[in-house]
Structure 1
């Protein structure tokens, strides 16, 4: 009887995880793919079609005026007419917050919990990890689609133990954030558990992309008001890497940005189902304003600014292989046309997971300290 009950629970859990793609769906998928796909299969994609195409023609930013114009257009698309929200502060701050999952980190002094409530009751709960010994630099860490930022504890601990404060985020609808019941016109009440549902909220007066970037902006407003960090950097994995690309393009308070397996331009997404991404990564109206190549430029240019992208050559999830070579030098050359800023890409040839490897973390740290 106990065996049967255990089997039914396991079977039901498997159906839920697989059917609804809830965490840890992507982790299980990565494990499955890593056992069933040979390394050679990661390199079968044909990029020759782009050899004769002028990729640089896809970049709209050609001078500082256009750069500022594009950033403003993106901001106006996301926040529409309510730009006062750019100055918003968190709804709640809890000092000395206790979360025993992190209590064993040796250089952790305390946690501040930052809570932000947005449209439709969708929230974002952020942890501000403050080290005992600090270099007065802040690292924003953004987890991806695999759930709670606690899944990135090793990354959080790595930066804390190197004396960085860490501001940790999860994606919308993923723990420790909520999944509210939202009543949709003509469709009825829907529990929002998937980013693709956001398309039903899109309108002329509202953009759901706000759920991904407003928590970053609002948290930095609070940090800027209460603390005096010398530099702020951002690191993200997967969907958190995508958020890193967009946030650094919008907010110049972010100095160096490190998206890991986070995004590729649109032309590398079509005809490759692994690279298509969720709703937020494929909105035609938004990326007509500034495509990914322009976002990379926006996140790289400025005093003390740099974007260092990292890809896992044998990534079982997405953005594997060497497609980045089709735009790497083009973005470098474009950024070099401006007075300040830097862009670079690193390929992790050893990591066969959809993750930030120890080797990549060390390279990120070296770059931050350079």
Structure 2
């Protein structure tokens, strides 16, 4: 259809819609606004850009289905893997300061923290405070088991919630004899601070949630460091004080993104379990409402695509990543889109000595780290051998 003809048709469509609305107003009166909104919504849903979206989101988006993920993953051999990892590290912490080798600013041993009291096999709880630029502080908790095995599981909660939402998961980790490092995202969780800052370029900013961090993400300063620094610094501390044969990390939702990034950049994380946390760029293009700013930064994903990040989380040394999704997730990352890229990631990971898999569960219409998903993650973590032992406290 020629543009001029198409434009005239759109104008006539709007005229007809306006006439219909006028008729409905006359027929229904001013007391039926919901009928008007329903009519307008039906019109909007019929527009081509929306009509192309799949009728059911329990499948694979058309754009994802036809993407050649084998071709797009350009990671080469070990030298290229190391080079890409360094490029991402430089991008994530530009102007921020590298966290590798850094220890927490404050360590409190054997603290009384009522929300964690009563967990079976729990010997003690430590509190770590990590101070970052702009006065932002992150508080992490270490749960020490009474009958300890040589294993550590990091847990990173997602947006809006506290890691205390996963008290049951932490209890399972501790009951299994593993130390747990629990974190909420910066500015969230009811424990992390929410400072008001006087930015030299923007003025007074109230940092009330993680979305506000995008305002600090500039050409010379990366706000992504706020997400990843607490994990790395907490791990630095624990590996300096203890020896673990097995180190894993689980993250839910936004914490799943942190898990993908942390595993890609810190080779000490041997097992990573992102739950409902990331998707590939074609999925984000098809679902503009999924994810937040860190998951859509084109400058980062031009350095490494998501599928390349997944591979980085499995290699040097040989490591493993198991992704978990809910088929009918009410929030995001639902469907079977992972089935489109998982074979390409698994092939590349295997070629470089790693292991990758994605599991799509059907846990109902919820956005949650469900009991079934928790059981699957812990079965893999407790039951599988991990290549390499005693990770070094230093990253390099």
Partner of 2:327 in structure 1? 313
Query: SS at 2:140's partner residue?
Result: strand
Distance in structure 2 (CA, Å) of the matches to 1:47 and 1:279: 21
TM-score, length-scaled by structure 2: 0.79
Partner of 1:333 in structure 2? 347
Deviation at 1:304, TM superposition (A): 4.7
Whether 1:284 and 2:298 are equivalent positions in the alignment is yes
Question: Residues 16-165 of structure 1: matches in 2 within 5 Å?
Answer: 41-43=56-58, 47-80=61-94, 85-165=99-179
Segments of 5+ residues of structure 1 without an aligned counterpart are 1-39
Kept after mapping to 2: 8 A contact 1:92/1:115: yes
Deviation at 1:351, TM superposition (A): 4.0
Kept after mapping to 1: 8 A contact 2:260/2:313: yes
CA 1:366/1:192 → structure 2, altered by over 3 Å: closer, same or farther? same
CA 1:361/1:85 → structure 2, altered by over 3 Å: closer, same or farther? closer
Partner of 1:217 in structure 2? 232
Kept after mapping to 2: 8 A contact 1:233/1:256: yes
Query: SS at 2:231's partner residue?
Result: helix
Distance in structure 2 (CA, Å) of the matches to 1:188 and 1:76: 27
Partner of 1:15 in structure 2? none
Partner of 1:17 in structure 2? none
Deviation at 1:202, TM superposition (A): 2.2
**CA offsets per residue over residues 181-221 of structure 1, 9 Å max, x none?**
01234532111113232222223331000001111111111
Please, which moves more after superposition, 184-193 or 90-99? 184-193
CA 1:141/1:336 → structure 2, altered by over 3 Å: closer, same or farther? same
Distance in structure 2 (CA, Å) of the matches to 1:292 and 1:360: 22
Please, which moves more after superposition, 316-325 or 188-197? 188-197
Whether 1:265 and 2:289 are equivalent positions in the alignment is no
CA RMSD of aligned residues (A): 1.7
Q: Which of the pair has more CA radius of gyration?
A: 2
Partner of 1:231 in structure 2? 246
Query: SS at 1:310's partner residue?
Result: strand
Deviation at 1:246, TM superposition (A): 0.4
Deviation at 1:86, TM superposition (A): 2.1
Kept after mapping to 1: 8 A contact 2:60/2:335: no
Partner of 2:22 in structure 1? none
Partner of 1:296 in structure 2? 310
Whether 1:324 and 2:354 are equivalent positions in the alignment is no
Deviation at 1:157, TM superposition (A): 0.9
Partner of 1:188 in structure 2? 203
